[in-house]
Amino acid sequence: ASKIGIEKNKIISFGDGLNDLEMIKYAGLGVAMGNAKAELKKAANYITDTVSDDGIYKACKKFGLI
């Protein structure tokens, strides 16, 4: 992001596993999926439903992306 001039507050990340922890913490808006590990949910700014329950869609609607 820094190489192409995107500010951190303009980045949204979605994750569910501990491998996503650094990404969730870095992004301006870190979204944990409903089935995410507890540590990831704690680090996230928002927790949405699971993927199978349209969690990404619901979070995008909530934050005015769609």
Rounded-to-integer distance, Cα 51 and Cα 16, Å: 9
CB 31 within 8 A of CB 14: yes
pTM reported for the whole predicted model: 0.91
What Å distances lie between residue 17 and 12, 23, 34, 63, CA to CA?
16, 11, 11, 22
Rounded-to-integer distance, Cα 42 and Cα 54, Å: 21
Rounded-to-integer distance, Cα 19 and Cα 63, Å: 24
Please determine, for residue 1, whether its predicted confidence score (pLDDT) is greater than 90.
no
pLDDT tens, position by position, 13-57? 999 999 999 999 999 999 999 999 999 999 999 999 999 999 999
Using pLDDT thresholds of 50, 70 and 90, give the confidence band for residue 64: very high
Name all domains of the chain by residue range, CATH numbers in brackets: 2-53 (3.40.50.1000)
Q: What was the pLDDT predicted at 9?
A: 92
Q: What was the pLDDT predicted at 2?
A: 83
Strand partners, 31: 14, 46
